[in-house]
Structure 1
Amino acid sequence: MRTLLTVMIKILLFPLALTLRIISIAALAVIKISSLIAGPVFILLGILGVFCLLRKEWMNLTILLGIAAGVWGLYFAAGYLCGAAEAASDRMFI
């Protein structure tokens, strides 16, 4: 009886697991493509940060650090959410 119940639950959760897997794959593809843009942006922010340090423009340096932290945080959060979606999808498939 218990195995029949688990099989029925897995059949019902299959569309959700498949949807999570597709969303995760699409999000990872978008992250990889956008990282091609983010790499040069981080280099530019680093160069501008050194320029602000040399000219002692502390407010501009703070703004640049905030921008860099925001972009880095977005990538971290997106990677975490993709990993969580994959883990949930794997858990539903097993």
Structure 2
Amino acid sequence: MESCQLKTYNLTETDLVKDHLRYLMGGRSNVQNEVLCRFIFPERPGALTKFLDSFSPRWNISLFHYRGQGETGANVLVGIQVPRVEMDEFHDRANRLG
């Protein structure tokens, strides 16, 4: 891959891989301005609505992978398309969400 000038990351020992990526498969993705984020959702009514309301409607959710962990909550991997010029706003909203 590196000989083809593709940037690689070794994610073998990360929690992200253990919780999400090993269940995802597919081909090449060409999603522009996609940011991958991992969140822990509490298991309570309205958690998804609160999450969705926290982000701008200008941003497209390109991936949503939910892994329930019982009563403690759920691990969620989300891909969101955020233009580079709006990254500060994205970080502010994500930090306010907690």
Which bin holds the TM-score, normalised by the shorter protein? under 0.3
Task: Specify which structure has the higher proportion of helix.
Answer: 1
Bigger Cα Rg: 1
Give the TM-score, by structure 2 length: 0.21
Q: Which structure is richer in relative contact order (CA contacts within 8 A, separation 6 or more)?
A: 1
- Give the TM-score of the pair, scaled to structure 1: 0.21
